[in-house]
Amino acid sequence: MRRALLLVMVAGCARWGRKYGDDAREFQGGAFMHYELTSATKVDAYDSPRDLVLAGAKLHGFVGLSSTVAYHAGIDLAMGSTLRGAGLAYDVAGYPVGAAVRFGRTSFLALGAGIGAMGAMGTLDDALTIPVEATLEVGGSWRLLARVRTSWVEAAPGRHDGAPSVPFADELDGMLALRFGHHYEDYGYPSGNGYFVGVTYRELLGDHWVGGAIGYSIDLGTPR
Amino acid sequence: MGKTAGNPGRFCLSCVSVRMVRFAIVLALLGGCIIARQSLEMPTNDETTVALLTGTLGHPMDDIARHPWFAVRKKGETDWRIYEVGGGGTEHDPFRDHGSYGHPILHKVWRGAEAERAAECLAKYGDDVRDQIERDYVLYPGPNSNTYGDAMLRKCHLHASLPATSIGKDWRGLIGAGVTSEGTGLQLETPVVGLKVGLKEGVEVHIIGLSFGIDLWPPAIILPLGPGRIGFADR
């Protein structure tokens, strides 16, 4: 009996290995990258810090055995200033945990969670953050770029409960933009690039912040 | 910023929007704009010529990444000898047509005795440096073809700079410092951040291989997009 069970297990493992070994050779994946310049200005108060301008890059990728669901990870790096507050600002985050759902040729919805740091010298307390971000990109040459991120803040008690709309988190920020660019199908692989312009929204320190975003975006993926 | 006149406490959303749109339009108009770009006409072959060119990678990287090559033609010859990573050999018109690389930009031309010395140096060290970089090649952040371009400029004392979109040009390993390829400045580099400061180079900050800054001569804003600068062509 034990010998028969062992035989079944070995046969099962061999079959599983053959199946996923073949799949691994035909993995599916994609990536997107943004260069961004974003601004945000406090709407409902006039105290410092009042402006936040950040320039940076986002690089995210997803890989999986399915053409629809994939593991997603990424990194965001941005530096800037609180302008007249003159604080050197930074907003960095890594997202090692995540999942993406791909649809269309290069459209996707991606969720990611990780760890980050955000602050500005002298004007915004340095904080360790635990961000959870949802990113949606839809379309080809004309492409809708949207993202929303909630963050839990550590090491900066003054920034706790700073997002009135999301009582379960400390901060909230998002962007909605439209890309005007190109879609390519070189060698059967879909990709695209172009400049985008959009708006940003942030809830930080209990205040509402709005602003604009301009940048350049690239997307590419395996054929679906 | 974004305040209504005469009412300092009120926020003016339309002012912010108008300012951002205006900024976006200016950037869009200037994006990819280089004033006084060098002509891609091949120089005559009455003296030895060495040229440094870059071209764009294929889609969708064409606006963010460029690849360099040196073209060398001895006096009286018609074909050009190419020095680059991932290629080589001879070509008839590497100024306009260089494989899959598009939209070539001519960055600098050396002629006469200066070109003779440059050609000799490229012939002596070009293949060895290329082989070493091809062995250690990493597409991003380097060492890659742009690392080769910058390394050869410094090795052969050819005073020129690669554009900001030549990502990998400032790769020096985990940490490195030295004189810039232009020869009038200093740079300190790590894979995460780096800084280049010089009389001609201006100030260039490198963040994860992306270059931002201000070029003093010829004046331009340095950006990691398109031709790598908004302003006057580098030469």
Q: Decide which of B72 and A17 is more confident.
A: B72
Q: What is the mean pLDDT of residues A45-50?
A: 81
CA B197 to mean position of chain CA atoms: 16
Look at residue B119 in the predicted model and tell me its pLDDT.
97
Q: What is the mean pLDDT of residues A103-119?
A: 96
ipTM, interface predicted TM-score of the complex: 0.74
3-state secondary structure chain B: CCEECCEEEEECHHHHHHHHHHHHHHHHHHCCCEECCCCCCCCCCCCCEEEEEEEECCCCCCCCCEEEEEEEECCCCCCEEEECCCCCCEECCCCCCECCEEEEEEEEEEEHHHHHHHHHHHHHHHHHHHHHHHHCCCCCCCCCHHHHHHHHHHHCCCCCCCCCCCCCCCCCCCCEEEECCCCCEEEEECCCEEEEEECCCEEEEEECCEEEEEECCCCEEECCCCCCEEEECCC
CB B203 within 8 A of CB B213: yes
Report the 10 Å Cβ neighbour count for A38: 25
Distance from CA of A156 to the nearest CA of B (A): 26
Look at residue A86 in the predicted model and tell me its pLDDT.
75
**Using CB atoms, which residue from B11, B23, B58 is nearest to A41?**
B11
- For A134-159, the pLDDT digits (tens) are 999 999 999 999 999 999 999 899 99
Structure tokens at A135: 């990113």
- For A51-104, the pLDDT digits (tens) are 999 998 999 999 999 889 999 999 999 989 988 777 889 999 999 999 999 999
CA gap B186, B195 in Å, rounded: 8
Distance from CA of A58 to the nearest CA of B (A): 11
Sign (positive or negative) of CA dihedral B93, B98, B104, B105: negative
Report the 10 Å Cβ neighbour count for B113: 10
Strand-pair category, B90-91 with A28-42: unpaired
- Judge: B24–A57 Cβ closer than 8 Å, yes or no: no
Chain B residue closest in CA terms to A219: B60
| pLDDT interval class at A187 (50, 70, 90) | confident
CA B230 to mean position of chain CA atoms: 13
Amino acid at residue number A159? R
CB B142 within 8 A of CB B168: yes
- Measured in Å, how far apart are chain A's first and last C-alpha atoms? 45
Distance from CA of A65 to the nearest CA of B (A): 24
Report the 10 Å Cβ neighbour count for A82: 22
DSSP state of A72: E
pTM assigned to the model:
0.81
| CA atoms within 13 A of residue A158's CA, in its CB half-sphere | 6
DSSP state of A170: S
Look at residue B35 in the predicted model and tell me its pLDDT.
83
Strand-pair category, A124-139 with A107-120: antiparallel
Least confident of A20-29, A48-57, A101-110: A20-29
Q: Chain A 168-207, CB below 8 Å of chain B: which residues?
A: 182, 184, 186, 191-193, 195, 197, 199
Chain A residue closest in CA terms to B32: A195
**Using CB atoms, which residue from B17, B58, B208 is nearest to A212?**
B17
Q: Cβ contacts (< 8 Å) between A192 and chain B: which residues? A: 60
Residues of chain B with pLDDT under 50: 1-10
DSSP state of A7: H
